[in-house]
Amino acid sequence: MKKVLTVLSLCIATAVSYSAVAGVQSGSQFNEWQKLANRDDLTRVNSQALSSQQLSTNIAALNQILLTNRDSVIITLPLPDGNFADFELKPSAIVEGGLNEKYPNIKTFSGHELGKPDNHGRFDITPQGFHGLFRYGKETVFIDPQYRDSDARYISYFRKDAIPLNLANMPKRLPPKIRDKSQQAFTSHALRDAAMVPQAMASRDKDAQAQATQLKTYRIAISATGEYTQFHGGTKERGLAAVITMLNRVNDVYQADLAVKLELVANNDSLIFVDPNTDPFANTDADGEANTGIIDNAIGNTSYDVGHVVGTGGGGLAALGVICDVTAKGDGVTGSPSPTGDAFNIDYVAHELGHQFGADHTFNGLTDSCDGNRADSSAFEPGSGSTVMSYAGICGQQNLQDNSNPYFHSHSIDVIQAHITTGTGSSCAQVGTTSNTNPEVNAGADYTIPARTPFVLTGSATDADGDPLSYDWQQYDLGPASASAAEQVDDGKRPLFRVWNPTSQPSRTLPRLEDILLNKLTIGETYPTTTRELNFRLMVRDGNQGLARDSMKISVVDTSQAFAVIEPAAGSSWANNSQLVTWNVANTASAPISCSKVNIQLSTNGGSSFDTDLAMGVDNDGSHEVTLTQITSNSARIKLSCADNIFFAVNNGNFSVAAGTNEQSIEITALKTPLTMDEDGELTLSTDMYQYQGLTATSLTLQAGNNYQVNGNTISPTADFNGELSVLVIAHSGSIESEAFPTLVSVTAVNDAPNAVNDASSVSQDSSNNVIDPLSNDSDIDSGDQLSLLSLNYTGQGTATIINNKISYTPAAGFSGSETITYTLQDSSKATASAVVTITVNATNTGTTGGSGSETGGSSSGGALGFWLFILLPLLGARGLRGRDL
């Protein structure tokens, strides 16, 4: 693969002005990058990357802008593809104040692309030049000086194009050192595993968020051997600058995954040694044990929380879980002949510090350097693994990739979080709150699937802060080790699926879809072939120190055969007419898998997408006839998936679809049965309600009309409508559609409850048998329904009764004031409603009994003859005559 890199040089004599490059934004405070017309001698190129294009910049102007500006600045950065992007950089110190003041030419930043906060990273300016690392879309971009002895040239490159660290001369790495209660180092695997098991098992039982909304800051003291400083320029300032660039990169990972910030101590320059002949180190792995005492003598034991030493010899070795441990907190060493770039900063420094924070190795292989270094209780990654605590690139045939990726496995996060939250590592952190809220994540339901069959995991997550989220599905199973690439297969327990880079999509296909389409497997992924459980975690990061996880489980059933498409086979030829898709059901229609329906979809681009639905929700019986219309392709693929599960199959290769010669059509000829529904209800129409001529319908479209609303395939009559609806329906078969068919729906009337309205009435104190007509202002939408009083609820001291469909009310003797009667009415169909009559009893001034027999209805009041008329009028047959009308 050709590696695309952009190189930046100060050879202005051959430069082409940056201003001629499209994409320059006027808001940038620095955009002085120029492309060079000529290639330079590549023999001196830094081993971090190869170059394919050279550029130059005004480094003095860049220094001036970054070092003198206290607030955020906007600068233009070059991208590896030759384009440019404007980034906002804000000062983000990772050193204590005293060191900042002593070395004003060293400054670190965090930043993001304008308008695209998900493209973010960390940057620094030092006497070694400008360094940047940032996420850009799906890639990670680095901007570094091209040569370590000059800040005149720069290279902009994708992380994937970096040249792997040359491991030929590297010593074999060792497992972390475990210390017993007497603080004596030992490397016994039994003791090491015993030390890790309680944390590992405890972390597996919880599915809480992996970190709280707190930022823990640890003071770190980093020693540098004379050899390391000589490699980086030979002066104390340049050695310190290299350490800060390294720590800036490590912080990018530790803050994102652990909400941990490592802050370089104020007097760390006293730990940067210049002369290899006089420094106190041997430049080997043995320097780790000596480092705690060396740091203590130089700056004092209480001045730091964790220590480390970097050099050019050895490899990497650290004591396990020693942060805050006053006797061993500096016991960590990293060495490399080329101590620069991600191959050093992530694979080695971040890894060894991970040991000091309590995490052990996560790889499950036993080849080459993996041999003797595997930790039983944390071996969650197949082969060499690929996360920070893996051995990517140094496990021979079991290597998943050349270098580790810059993030931790969820188990490593669990163990470190336990150590710094409730373990001994919690005793020295400075804890601060952040304004960030962790995401909320849902890994979805558990499923039962057949063995030997691919599947798709899909979760979901939300973030209260609106941060862009990344998704990382990780298998979480322990099992026996594998001693070769050939042994990385399912034995019923061991991990089968490697960790890939987080993406912006909440789904992961296992194995990778590109491998399924090629009928091959990438090392680190293999099909489950036994009856077993697969446990998965969905890790969600918000890019702002927030991280959360959720778990789900898959039960795999060994059905002896794979759920697989049989026809069409690779190389088949289809025409645009009816074709038969056949598949091996593999006992998936039976319990416990119980997949009764499947979906059949077509891809015309070799499987990149499956956009054409040929048949959805059809019986899982091994065959189904589908119809193709107006489709041509030489790279067609068929995907068969369970309609209510996560497993699927793709036919074994591309086939062709040619244009057919027969006209195809579809027509709705009739309803199979008449359609009826109740007033104010809903009715969903489906393809199986109709009879067709020609093709078979795969979907329907409902058109809007009178007296109903449409929502997808569901109709809702207008409120209180009853009668007959005519709904126009169009049937579809692929891209072919029918004429609109009038579907008649009979809407049956249903009785509506009456409407009761609250009333108010007034009577005189000590009156009796006052007549109140509460029904006078009540109603019923159903014409012809007669209303009648059903019951009263009165709790006062007077009396209230129903007489002739009205209320006869007598207040208690001497009572004046207000009280209520709740009445319930019913219509002819026994539907009921209730309302309240509020009665005001007016006090009399004469002391005599007021008029009696008043009648009121609604909000009015009647006269003194009301009661007698109420008694006499029915006897006289005076219909409709009301007391208040006299």
Ranking 50-64, 508-522, 641-655 by mean pLDDT, the lowest is: 50-64
Residues 6+ apart with CB under 8 A from 183: 325, 327, 328
Q: Could you please state the CATH topology (level 3) that the domain comprising 564-658 is classified under.
A: Immunoglobulin-like (2.60.40)
More confident residue, 54 or 462: 462
E strand map for 11-159: 15-16, 33-36, 54-57, 73-78, 84-91, 107-113, 116-126, 129-136, 139-147, 150-158
Ranking 217-226, 272-281, 333-342, 348-357 by mean pLDDT, the lowest is: 333-342
**Looking at this protein, which amino acid is placed at residue 397?**
Q
More confident residue, 321 or 844: 321
Whether 564-658 and 167-180+213-359+409-434 are alike in CATH topology: the answer is no
Ranking 76-85, 87-96, 272-281, 351-360 by mean pLDDT, the lowest is: 76-85
User: Does the N-terminal peptide bond of residue 439 adopt cis geometry, omega within 30 degrees of 0?
Assistant: no
Report phi then psi at 128, rounded to 5.
Answer: -85, -5
DSSP 748-810: E--PPPPB---EEEEEETT---EEEEGGGG-B-SSTTPPPEEEEEE--SSSEEEEETTEEEEE
Where b means 16+ CB within 10 Å and e means fewer, 52-89 reads bbbbbbbbeebbebbeeeeeebbbbbbbbebebbbbbb
Q: Is the pLDDT of residue 150 over 80?
A: no
Hey, where are the domains in the chain? Answer: 5-161, 167-180+213-359+409-434, 435-506+520-557, 564-658, 666-748, 759-885
Ranking 160-169, 221-230, 386-395, 660-669 by mean pLDDT, the lowest is: 160-169
Q: Could you please state the CATH topology (level 3) that the domain comprising 167-180+213-359+409-434 is classified under.
A: Collagenase (Catalytic Domain) (3.40.390)
- Top-level class of domain 666-748: mainly beta
- Under the banding of pLDDT at 50, 70 and 90, the label for residue 50 is low
Q: Is the pLDDT of residue 783 over 90?
A: no
Look at the alpha carbons of 869, 871, 874, 876 in this order and tell me if their dihedral is positive or negative.
negative
Question: What is 759-885's CATH number, 2.40.50.140, 2.60.40.10, 3.10.350.10, 3.50.50.60?
Answer: 2.60.40.10
Mean local confidence (pLDDT), 58-63: 92
Q: Is the pLDDT of residue 585 over 60?
A: yes
Question: C-alpha angle 139/105/79, rounded to 5°?
Answer: 20
Give pLDDT, residue 118: 85
Give pLDDT, residue 830: 86
Q: Could you tell me the pTM of the whole model? A: 0.71
Share of the chain above pLDDT 90, in %: 71
Q: Could you please state the CATH topology (level 3) that the domain comprising 435-506+520-557 is classified under.
A: Immunoglobulin-like (2.60.40)
Give pLDDT, residue 555: 98
| pLDDT tens sequence across 492-541 | 999 999 999 999 999 999 999 999 999 999 999 999 999 999 999 999 99
Q: Is the pLDDT of residue 177 over 90?
A: no
Q: What is the mean pLDDT of the chain?
A: 86
| pLDDT tens sequence across 594-638 | 999 999 999 999 999 999 999 999 999 999 999 887 889 999 999
| pLDDT tens sequence across 440-488 | 999 999 999 999 999 999 999 999 999 999 999 999 999 999 999 999 9
Give pLDDT, residue 23: 38
> How many CB atoms are closer than 10 A to CB 251?
22
